[in-house]
Structure 1
Amino acid sequence: MKNILVTGSKGQLGIALQAVSSRFPGFTLIPAGRDDLDISDADAISDYFSSHDFDAVVNCAAYTEVDKAETEEDAAFLLNFQAPLLLAEAALAKGCMFIHLSTDYVFDGRSSRPYTEDAETSPQTIYGASKLRGEAAVLGTNPGAIVLRTSWLYSQNGTNFALRMQELMKEKESLNVVFDQTGTPTYAPDLAVAIFTILSHPAPEGGIYHFSNEGVATWYDFAVAIKELTGAACKLQPVTSEQYPTAAMRPAYSVLNKGKIKAAFGLEIPYWKDSLAVCLGK
């Protein structure tokens, strides 16, 4: 039996890990929300790590307010860089495995081919810069750690595109949805299964891995799929990014190449529309 500390346990991925854990009977999760452990406090981390028994840490905690980060740089870097660094150091000292979550926002979005793990990074936002700095801190401190980059995360919980679209489609007769940003939706429980698969591996190689569901979509495609699955009457209008301005620039293209993680861990990754149907209970 392995004990797994899950930070950020009340977020989408933390909840998903707990939801799928029954499928992996060899593990016991130790969920830690912000009230349980202040991951920005080195002394709090030291005390928690010395008073709890666990074999691995999965860091799901992060500052994820992409637009707010443009004016809250210190808060973004505290949670996305300094806190992961402290956790990586503590995990190394304790001799336990460390998995850290990152994002497609580390790329500039100017590619036209799926990004591999060794592709050049060039974040265009404070959020992306803070996450990239966190990646470097984690792997620079703890080379055996695993950094998992993912994209467009959604689930039945929290704040995400799938839930927001369902709400808006009930409230409005029409919606404008961006059609010139391309990526892949990721269903949080599928990512959780991937994490348990990595945790089950006898000797996983440290480094960066990419995970999202299979396939490619625009936000407009994603919205259309939600509309079709739910039978909503709302009319969807495709618009450009210029017509829907945001404080932080979104990558125009952020499809992730998943060849490395599939080869390393024998993963079979579901197609994004199939997982969306599961999420919506269809």
Structure 2
Amino acid sequence: MQPISKSYPKALVTGASSGLGKAFADMLLAEGVEVWGTSRDASRIEKKEGMHALSLDLADPESVQAFMRDNVEILDQVDLFINNAGAGVFSSFFEMHPQDIGEQIKVLMHGPIALCHRVLPSMLSREKGAIVNVASLAADFPLPWFSIYSSCKAGLSQFSRALAIELMETDVAVIDLQPGDFKTGFNHAAKKPEHMDEDERKLWTRIEYTFTHGPEPEKAARDLRKALLKGKSSVVRTGNFFQATLAPLFARLVPWSLTSWSVRKYFGLR
């Protein structure tokens, strides 16, 4: 089987300093792909042959515009774009600060879609390319106290699927990647309240458990590699067997009332 670099010699990966983004970047580097990786702090990206570190803060519209203005050459040449950067806020919706709401929407929806809009024209003109939007299984199983995160991931997932239909007659693939809970440190990076009530503590304990007992990020990278080698638009679910296979099947077969009940039971909510 040929390496990914044959089809996608140059890649841009957002959020490449840790977690899934780092695993994706490492997988691509091992395949001979030249990678441009972004992070809010570019110095956090591990220095490796073939890796170029760039600064990008998706929560700051000025940073996004500066990134697109200062990196015209690579944005016009990138063959593979992986929209991975993300952030979450654990809070009941009515207690969430408006700034946290806005920043999550910028990071999880506005920024990724703006970058897709920027790289797509050159892919179409060169008649090759792939866009990977990293959504979440939360698109089908919304996480309580992560309402904005869940809704943005659902929106990004539907954007990917709609875009894939638009590009069906082209040579540009769109992959809707839906990871479950991985050992990425997301639970440590998520913003959360200093004081929690009983339900919140129980829920957060369960969420932390699922992350600390989840698969390593390299599994998601392997699953993405398989999808990229097919060269076709697709929906790719990755994680443990329950999250990646059984839960999505369950959600498609049962009414929402039963899905909602199962989410509450899964997280130990009353």
TM-score bracket for this pair, using the shorter chain length: 0.5 to 0.7
Contact 2:83 2:132 in 1 (8 A): yes
- Identify which of 50, 53, 56 aligns with 1:37: 56
- Identify which of 241, 249, 252 aligns with 1:214: 241
Match in the other structure for 1:85: 113
Deviation at 1:45, TM superposition (A): 4.7
Contact 1:8 1:60 in 2 (8 A): yes
Match in the other structure for 1:229: none
Match in the other structure for 2:249: none
Deviation at 1:216, TM superposition (A): 6.5
Deviation at 1:47, TM superposition (A): 2.5
- Segments of 5+ residues of structure 2 without an aligned counterpart are 42-54, 124-128, 166-172, 189-201, 245-261
- Identify which of 132, 135, 143 aligns with 2:154: 132
Shift in CA distance, 84/109, structure 1 to aligned 2, threshold 3 Å: closer
Shift in CA distance, 253/10, structure 1 to aligned 2, threshold 3 Å: farther
Match in the other structure for 2:221: 192
Q: Deviations over 1:10-59 (max 9, x none)?
A: 231122223444542x3222211125234445633533552213211111
Whole-angstrom distance in 2 between the partners of 1:132 and 1:102 = 7
Whole-angstrom distance in 2 between the partners of 1:147 and 1:56 = 14
Give the total of aligned pairs: 193
Whole-angstrom distance in 2 between the partners of 1:43 and 1:105 = 29
- Identify which of 121, 135, 138 aligns with 1:105: 138
Whole-angstrom distance in 2 between the partners of 1:9 and 1:195 = 15
User: Does residue 61 of the first structure (1) align with residue 85 of the second (2)?
Assistant: yes
Match in the other structure for 2:22: 15
Shift in CA distance, 182/87, structure 1 to aligned 2, threshold 3 Å: same
- Once superposed, what is the RMSD of the aligned Cα atoms? 3.9
Query: Secondary structure of 2:177's match?
Result: strand
Query: Secondary structure of 2:82's match?
Result: strand
- Segments of 5+ residues of structure 1 without an aligned counterpart are 111-121, 162-174, 218-249, 255-282
Contact 1:135 1:147 in 2 (8 A): yes
Shift in CA distance, 10/22, structure 1 to aligned 2, threshold 3 Å: closer
Structure 1 residues 135-146: aligned runs within 5 Å: 135-141=157-163, 143=165, 144-146=173-175
The TM-score, its normalising length taken from structure 1, stands at 0.56
Match in the other structure for 1:148: 177
The TM-score, its normalising length taken from structure 2, stands at 0.58
